[in-house]
Amino acid sequence: MRVIILFFVLLFSLETSAQEAFQSSYILVLGVAQDGGYPHMGCQKNCCKMAWKHQKLRKNVVSLALVDPKSKKWWLFEATPDIKQQLQDFQKKTNEAYPYLPEGIFITHAHIGHYTGLMEFGREVMSTNGLKVYTLPKLKSFLEQNGPWSQLVKLNNINLVILSADQSIDIANNKITAFTVPHRDEFSETAGFKIETSTKRYLFIPDIDKWSKWNKNIIDEVKNVDMAMLDATFYSNTELGNRPIAEVPHPLVTETESLFSKEVNSIKSKIFFIHFNHTNPLLWDKNTEKQVLKNGFNVAKQGDFYY
């Protein structure tokens, strides 16, 4: 009898855990490519040829959705040039169980792949009313002082909500913390985000110059989360060919792998590379992806859920 009771207690415990996991917030990846998307405008090289021919190979610019089943709300990270497709993809992937528009949008910085989708919320298209857009101070000022973004603010299409670096805010059942990273900050600072749900902690750094320039230790930061989506713009320093890669500094995939080479696989496996330039073979070469997986790391996939 005691064995039977223990069995049902264990079964109830497992069912309860499963229900809690199902009700906790999760991440949906809506894009994995660098600002120009994949295939890239003007590219007729081998890296893009197949993607021009086959729609299923194309990838949106990097973006995430944070989905909260309890509140039936969701939040978008980055307002990309592909935002129209991404909102549609979100509806399809979630079986239209959530509002079409997110509860708010978190933006990392003022480079074209990360904020220009905001134009779709103006009166020419959606004409939204007070859609919350979360930014750090310099990006907030940039949007307020420069058209056409300033018109979105003036007409209350968007409601800018200022974030403070390294200070968390609560949204529904989740906690979001913005922090600054070194990047080409021509118009604004550059943020990364830590996303904390009731069950998981995610790190999102789609753009950074080099890990060594950051005032934080990326190894420690990865150890303190369950999943880290990290800048993987370029795989190697020979990709651009006709353009100095120093003009667009990013940590190479091989550099990040080398940095974590002495860590155990349970740490390496937390890293999911994201934000791929069209030249990065992780977008189109299965052998390169297999090697990265063999090395203990992961590759973020558009359309995948991460609980």
Task: For residue 252, give the CATH number of its domain.
Answer: 3.60.15.10
57 secondary structure, DSSP code: G
Number of domains in the chain: 1
Q: Which domain holds residue 155?
A: 24-306
Q: What is the pLDDT of residue 1?
A: 53
pTM: 0.92
145 domain-assigned: yes
Can you list the positions of beta strands (E) in the chain?
26-31, 63-68, 73-77, 104-106, 131-135, 158-162, 168-171, 174-180, 191-196, 201-205, 227-231, 271-274, 298-299, 305-306
Distance in angstroms (rounded) separating the CA atoms of residues 20 and 22: 5
Nearest CA among 37, 90, 83 for reference residue 65: 90
14 domain-assigned: no
- 184-243: per-residue pLDDT in tens? 999 999 999 999 999 999 999 999 999 999 999 999 999 999 999 999 999 998 887 777
4 domain-assigned: no
47 domain-assigned: yes
Nearest CA among 136, 140, 189, 139 for reference residue 165: 136
Q: Give the CA angle between residues 301, 188, 64 to the nearest 5°.
A: 20
9 domain-assigned: no
- 39-74: per-residue pLDDT in tens? 999 999 999 999 999 999 999 999 999 999 999 999
236 domain-assigned: yes
18 domain-assigned: no
